[in-house]
Structures are given as structure tokens and as C-alpha cells.
Amino acid sequence: MNWNDLRFFVAVAEEGTLSGAARRLGKDHTTVARRIEALEGVLGAHLFDRLATGWKLTEAGENLVPMAERIEEDVLAFERQARGDETAHGVVKIAVPPSAGRLLFAPRLAELLRDQKNLEYEILASSVVANLSRREADVAVRMVHPDQSGLIVRKLAELSYAVYAAKGYTQRVPKENWEFCADGRNTFGNHQRGWVWDTLNQELPVRIRADDTQTVQAFVAAGHGLGLLPRYMADEDDRLEMVVDDNLAKVSKPVWLVVHPDMRRSRGVRMVMDALVKATDSIPAAYKT
């Protein structure tokens, strides 16, 4: 048996679809299907019913999931232990949010880590939260506090926000006709809007909602209304002007450094963690609370 096939089995069992498992594993769906078929052939058991709506575990598959998950965790722990004891060589995977990673951390990481000739860095700039236990990343910067137990978490900073509009918008458009471009991803977006309504003493109509900050910024810059944006992005955009600053840090957003305890022993990971702390220290004071 190829023990690596258990990773594919667990991924399909938990995701319920080939496409979901393929995204999680970073493989194409034909590879995932082929590995499942190989595992079924070795075991002589039918593990999934292939349905139009997804892959459903058979009774045999259901019975094997708990054992497969335990084996997978043991293998991952073995890998983390091995990497934790290695010298500063090889690849360190760093997960960062797309905007903050590109604008805040990547330039500073590049400067701070350029002299480490024996290390390679893989930057995973995605809104999908990397699973550190599965070694999808070795160290992560997150905009939400991790809910997974057992991880080492350190607060790096609180990022400042302010209300912005396209230059001249507030002069051209009467206040009663102002609109708002909203971040519609989660309950934090609702909290943001409530703060804006209270601060402006006015509830603005929302016709545009986006699931990423850069899209909100683009619509605001195009004159579609006001938007609450992080200062590290909006202050650098010549198309925008600040309308209201969050002086009391009511809607500032924390940034967390997260690492699995097994990986903290790795010299390479420690170097990256130190570099991320130094990168945070070098962020201009106006962008932090």
C-alpha cells in the first residue's frame, strides 16, 4: 500500500467532492480519482459511491475514516518532527493574506531574508486559511484569531482603518446621496458598517458588496461611494482621500503570527518568524494603532 494514498482518501471523505479534495491537496481531480482507485484496488474494497452531487462514503469507507485520519496525523507529526530538527535548509512555506502579504510583508521579507542562501521560501498568498497541522504551511500570518487548539499564536499588530472616497466625491455628491461599498465576507463587515453609520450619523445605501478588500478599493476609487479600507492600502492610493479616520481604533484589525509547536524548533521557521516580527515593526506607525 502507498501510505500517501490515505491523504487522498481522507481529503475526499472530508470534502465530499473530487474538486474540493483537489484544491485542498494542490492536485488535479484526475490524480485524486486515480489515487482513490489505486487504494480501492489494493484494499479490495469499494470506498465511495460516485454520485452526480459528489462522492459519498460507502459503509466500508465510513468504517475506515477514523483509522485513516489517525494514521495521517501520525505521518504528519512524523514529518513535522523531522523538519523541526533539521538545520536551516530547504523550503519554508509562509501563508499570508493576499493584500497584506503583497503590500506589507512580502517586500520586507524579501529584504530581511535575502542573505539566507540555503533556504527557499514559498509564499502562499490566499484568503483560504492554511491548515498548519496538515503542513499546508509552516508559518502563517492571519487576520483572524485561530480557532484550532494547540497552535502557537502571537499578535503582531493592529492595522488601522479609515473611511475613504474618490477624490472630490464628497464635494460632488450631496451627503444625503452618499453610498457605501461594503466588505461582505463576515460579521466583521457588519461591525464595520455599524461603526460607519454611527460615525457619519447616517445610514448609507449599499449596492456593492465584495469578498475582498482590493475590489472594494477599486469601486471606491471609481466613485461608487465610500468605503472602509485599511490605511496601508488606501493611504498609498492617489485616487482616494480620507473622509473619516478611526482615531479610537474601533474597527482596527489584529494580525496574528501562527505556527505549529512542532515546527517552532526548525531553524528556518524561526528565522522566518523573526523576519515577520521585524517586518511588522517596520510598518509605518500611521498604518498601526
What ranges do the domains of the chain cover?
5-83, 90-156+255-287, 161-245
CATH class entry, domain 161-245: alpha beta
- pLDDT on residue 88: 47
Residue 185, SS3? coil
Q: Return the pLDDT at 83.
A: 55
pLDDT on residue 283: 86
Q: What is the pLDDT of residues 210-245, one digit of tens each?
A: 888 899 999 999 999 999 999 999 999 999 999 999
Give the percent of the chain with pLDDT over 90: 30
The structure's pTM equals 0.65
- Give the containing element (helix H, strand E) for 210: strand 206-210
What was the pLDDT predicted at 239?
97
Nearest residue to 106 (alpha-carbon basis) of 56, 132, 136, 141:
141
What fold does the segment set 5-83 form as a domain? Arc Repressor Mutant, subunit A (1.10.10)
Q: Which of 54-68, 194-208, 212-226, 232-246 has the lowest mean pLDDT?
A: 54-68
Read off the amino acid at residue 204.
Answer: L
Cell matching residue 51: 454520485
Average pLDDT over residues 29-44: 87
Beta strand pairing status for 152-159 and 253-259? antiparallel
* CATH 3.40.190.10, domain 90-156+255-287, yes or no: yes
Do the domains 90-156+255-287 and 161-245 sit in the same CATH topology, yes or no?
yes
d(CA 196, CA 189): 11
Q: DSSP H helical segments within 51-178, as ranges?
A: 59-84, 98-100, 106-113, 169-172
